[in-house]
Amino acid sequence: MAQRTARPFSETEEKLLGVALKVMTKTTTWVYRASGGRLGGRFLRGAPVMLLTTIGRRSGEPRIAPLIYLEDGDNVVTVASKGGSARHPLWYRNLQANPDVEVQIGADKRKLRARIASAEEKDRLWPRLTMIYPDYDDYQARTDRDIPVVILEPR
């Protein structure tokens, strides 16, 4: 992984990030679903976007997050970056409690099971992930937490 430096978010920036992500999530999810992924299916610099549905660990309700992804054989790989926040994203905490998830890529929906990549798997996947979305290196430099790579496997 490339070594970069980025300053950590302040508490105020963390709160603003949370608000911005909620608005982006709702908007992107609505547009993605309405268009079958034709709109909202790409992020900055063309990074592919999927919709990940987890079950809320406290509510038991479905929770949807639009996320950048990488296909690796039959697996789908994503990154629990939250923009380099000091805290894990809520979707990540949900899948830790219940690893059974649904992924929508375009109009295609798949039921998958999540697991955290091992250190060796992360080392293998990280260069491919940063080729898709180079900002991941900056996000890792911004935070002290080890940003997890999540592998979603067929059930």
Spatial separation of the C-alpha atoms in residues 150 and 152, rounded to whole Å? 6
Spatial separation of the C-alpha atoms in residues 136 and 129, rounded to whole Å? 8
Domain boundaries, the chain: 11-154
pLDDT at 22 over 80: no
Q: What is the pLDDT of residue 88?
A: 94
Share of the chain above pLDDT 90, in %: 65
Tokens of 151: 């592998």
Phi, psi values for residue 150, rounded to 5°: -110, 130
Tokens of 69: 């992804």
pLDDT at 2 over 60: no
Digit-coded pLDDT (tens) for 49-73: 999 999 999 999 999 999 999 999 9
Mean pLDDT of the chain: 89
Digit-coded pLDDT (tens) for 28-54: 888 888 888 887 887 867 899 999 999
CATH for 11-154, options being 3.40.50.300, 2.40.40.20, 1.10.3470.10, 2.30.110.10: 2.30.110.10
Three-class SS of residue 72?
strand
Spatial separation of the C-alpha atoms in residues 95 and 71, rounded to whole Å? 19
